[in-house]
Structure 1
Amino acid sequence: MLSYIARRLAFMVPTLILISIVSFVIIQLPPGDYLTTLVAQLSAQGETIEAGQLEALKQRYGLGESVFVQYTKWISAILLEGDFGQSFEWGRPVADLLSQRIGLTVVLALSTLLLTWVIAFPIGVYSAVKQYSPGDYVATTVGFLGLAIPNFMIALALMYLGFRLFGLSVGGLFSPQFVDSGWNLGKLLDLIGHLWVPMIVLGTAGTAGLIRILRANLLDELRKPYVVAARARGMPERRLLIKYPLRVALNPFISTVGWILPALVSGEIIVSQVLSLPTTGPLLLSALTSQDMYLAGSIILIVSVLTVIGTLLSDIALAWLDPRVRLRTK
């Protein structure tokens, strides 16, 4: 097990280096940079920017130099000083902007993951054990609906029902009086009260998909010879289910832990916009649109690093759960 973990850690280093390079190159692909966009916008509004200020920004971030020089300055500042650069659009350090959003993004991602597991696990097991029963048909129908209905449509429906029936302000993660306040018990409870809507919306498709995967995997395991032999020897059905086939069928639950964060950031930007969520998704979209390269590159880098770490943890848990994973790599 330790050798497996050591190999996975060794693979992480070049992976993170490549991620940082690719992240920086991708945001450099559009023509021009933020300063040219800023000058064009100011010109359209009849305003100008001083040449000295423009030149100072170019020299500080190497905007007039090669991509390699810009990348070297960017990654060196991050590693040596923890400085992610300055957001041109917001006029603030990138670290300050990210500190306000990364934490809430991770909390929402983990909450959505737990909700997905809590719902998908019992339904998937029941649907496989009671194949072709009325409950199985209901679960299958609900699963297909969850996969077919767009998440933003579910978000709009829940917002309407929450406001219409319960008088709740379901947009965002905080009530207006708690948005700018410091953390206390009241703000924490308010966050919990607002968290359920985005959790349900973001977890719908994932829950439906996991139900179908768990059902298919468990049905496949239940038909294998070792299960038939154990049943023939008189092993109780519940013990047989938990000890052998269910343990193998759980692999998709563990292996998808590292995917929840990038899916939340990149795949659910529309939902975040609809629900006014203060997460990194809308911030990344705004940064890419305005070519705010240091903000966009930092978000992509941090989310990618967290994804690699999450994937490492899920691989370790998967190797512990299923010995075939670690034995296959020897």
Structure 2
Amino acid sequence: MTTRRKFLKTAGVGAAASLAAPAVHAQGAKIKWRLQTYAGPALAEQVVKPMVDKFNAIAGDEMQIELYTADQLVPTGELFRAMQKGTIDAVQSDDDSMASPTEVTVFGGYFPFALRYSLDVPVLFNQYGLDEIWKAEYAKVGVQHISAGAWDPCHFATKKPVTSLKDLDGLRVFTFPTAGRFMSRFGIVPVTLPWEDVEVALQTGEIDAIAWSGITEDYTVGWADVTDYFLTNNISGAWIGHFFVNMQRWADLPDHLKTLFQVCCDSSHYRRQWWYWGGEAALRVNGTKLKLTAIPDEEWAQVEAEAQKFWDEIASESEVKAQVVAKIKEYNAVMAKAGRPYRYT
């Protein structure tokens, strides 16, 4: 961690000058970008490496992207600042965990009960105006928002069985900032850790549970080996994540490479949709490491009702937040009225 912080402070001087140099050099020179993801090595293989490999194969001698995984260059909480400064050229993350200084940060990751399915994310961004809001907010802080996509739903993986709301009380949980802020109303104690320390923290008893992902990630990154139970009630049906680029790097990029980058990001979003959707079902049915538990629907309804109050509290904080909450409410009302298969009562 000390080395990473020193890297941020010294980038642009002395030995680190080459790391902070502009990504676009003399005309005809190969463009090189550094992209850091929120995901650890095992997860990055699924959620971003295929996109980077595809881009590099097509761009060839014109441009190459170097991929770095969670906390490899800078801590996840400092990703935004590093990208804004140009220390890192591009980022794959949610707004929340990389501490973006924008009005929309609270909606990144898991905004409680705003989404039922992964398809809700692209519809909200592409048909309900969230993409325009995100691009405008990030332009204010010198970052180009490329696109948003869906990841997995948010469930608890726990060391002890959770079968009622009272079982959540006092549970020390590694989770996203907004999810932790909301679920603390039901007694959980949010714990912040570097991503790579989570597995050991579960083994040593420093934390009791995680609410960071669905069951696919639990198996993929090894958390299913150090937890025993999987709560089938979820806080959200999908994680909202994005691709971002330093604005000057984006402006310097030739138009055809901008288009290629955008297409590869879209391809990445699509791949995650089927990888997570199929994985969540298959591992619930065929997985052997986690026992499924559930909180009764009538109890869980209290959590869903509290989420509506939480939305209103967030909306009261700023005009932009109110706009986003209004879009979320409008969208969910349409889905509820549409009925099956969009929403089930």
- For the aligned pair, the TM-score class normalised by the smaller chain equals under 0.3
Max radius of gyration: which structure? 1
**Structure with the higher fraction of residues in helix conformation:** 1
Normalized against structure 1, the TM-score is what? Answer: 0.25
